A and B are shown apart, each in its own frame.
Chain A
Amino acid sequence: MSIIIDHVSYIYSKGNAYENKAISDINLKIEDGEFIGLIGHTGSGKSTLIQHLNGLLKATGGKIYYNGEDIYDNDYNMKKLRSKVGLVFQYPEHQLFEIDVFQDVCFGPKNLGLSKKEVELRAYTALKQVGLADEYFYQSPFDLSGGEKRRAAIAGVLAMQPEVLVLDEPTAGLDPKGCEEILELIVQLRKDTNITVILVSHSMEEVAKYVDRIIVMNQGGIAYDDTPGKVFMNYRELEQIGLSAPQVTYVMNKLHDRGMPVRTTALTVEEAKEEILRVYGRHF
């Protein structure tokens, strides 16, 4: 699996008085199995970009290749692309509509024209993947709690069995425990299926803790594209474009400025603890 984004631009309401260039000249390559974090200030083009990945938006300039095929080719099957690149929107629970949770999760595979048996198998698997107990299956989706609704909605996309999973702020509006559950769910999913994941987030801590690669967007373009360690070293520049670094980065930098010889690359509280202990260990 690979996605190549080649000089892609998108202009909203082209030719209108309300014309707005949302993203311009984006060049990216996404490899199989990567775990990518996509961050950027509000309006930087994140949502626009991810909607190009499954063909919901058609680039006004540039090309996109999925597994080497040009998705804007006349013969290309866009519906198939949508089953390969699963997109979970923000507040996905707003898309629930069926009589019961199980039927709702079946909606995706049904649209793929699969046999009833295959549809139900996929729905069952997906619901288990998100950790929803059997007793929820036949309840109305509107009777579930916020966190449960969200997991049911994610199951709805997982049932399509995509190769790439794109999640737009999956932890928005959840309490800390809820956030952790969703993120651990994604980690487990990757362990089990090696699915490629792109996580759009506003939480630097989240992104620092889980992803292998961070893409930073700024005003429709890509500002940084590197490992979390390298990206967050630019924490001053990140602040200028409306972002920040994980709190731990600031702590480590302050300690370093005051003379403690710690490396400032720690990204999580755990790493910071280890690093501080390491330095103290030497001085004992």
Chain B
Amino acid sequence: MIRDITLGQYYPAESILHKMDPRVKLVGTLAFIISLFLFDNVYGYVVATIFLVMTIKVSKVPFSFMIKGLKAIVILMLITVIFNLFLTPGDALVSFWKFTITKQGLRTAVFMMIRLTYLIIGSSIMTLVTTPNNLTDGMEKLMNPLRLIKVPVHEVAMMMSIALSFIPILLEETDKIMKAQMARGADFESGNLINKAKSLVPLLVPLFVSAFRRANDLAMAMEARCYRGGEGRTKMKPLIYHKRDFVAYIVILIYFVGVIMVNYI
């Protein structure tokens, strides 16, 4: 039941993208997403498509995994497309009953759909080729400069990686508690919304108690090993740029500039 939830969607493989520094991947994904909203002609989409397709090829992740994320926003996309198709004013293309599809509407709808699709695929790629802990390391390093204005960067990153490690542990605990209560006749499935909410109490209370207990134990374990916060703390696997990371930054820069230039064609 609960075992089937795969979290973080990391797909292990041996590709350049997998080995790349997470900071490059974060910056690249951000750049890509921003770029999607910077152009408004066909050539721009062609450039973006080339970039995306090449990234997919290099990642060695099966295409089927990339479009998994699209399932979640199918409804949103449908609504966006329909609204843009029928409600955009302009030169009519097709007209039936009271509804008119305009040329501008078609254009906007298609572009919007492509934008959303590329956005989802782009971010999916990032989580598919980077482990969650790697991602938080990258974010911590990138946000380091914020420490100068007293932002608790290290503490936030530590909280995130602890939370990530505990997700599978707590999921397993939930499964155990659910089974134990079901063995006492608890029913989590039938009944109206109110009944279902009430039936969550015997699940949530023990779960919270367990989570607090674990947090307490973890805190003590960390202190027993001399953890005192981020000051002067070194990493076992420090993030160091390699040549491939610099090449990637250059590629991203070229792409970004290219996408902007395309607007002037």
Contact = CB atoms under 8 A, between A and B. Distances in A.
Interface of A: 12-13, 16, 51, 54, 56, 79, 82-83, 86-89, 92, 94-97, 107-108, 111-112, 142, 156-157, 160
Contacts of B3: 12-13
Interface stretch (B15-23, B82-90, B201-209): B201-209
Given A94-B210, A95-B206, A112 B185 contact: yes
Interface in B147-186: 173, 176-177, 179-186
A82 B182 contact: yes
B91 interface: no
Interface of B: 3-4, 173, 176-177, 179-187, 201-202, 205-206, 209-210
A56 B183 contact: yes
B209 A82 contact: no
Contact of A89 (B183, B201, B209): B183
Contacts of B209: 94, 97, 142
B interface secondary structure, majority: helix
A97 B185 contact: no
B4 A82 contact: no
Contacts of A108: 184-185
11 contacts: A12-B3, A56-B179, A79-B185, A82-B183, A82-B185, A94-B176, A94-B177, A95-B206, A96-B206, A97-B206, A107-B186
Nearest to A85: B183
Nearest to A142: B209
Given A13-B4, A96-B206, A97-B201, A111 B183 contact: no
A56 to B, nearest CB: 5
Contacts of A111: 184-187
B177 A157 contact: no
A34 to B, nearest CB: 20
Contact of A95 (B4, B177, B187, B201): B177
B179 A83 contact: no
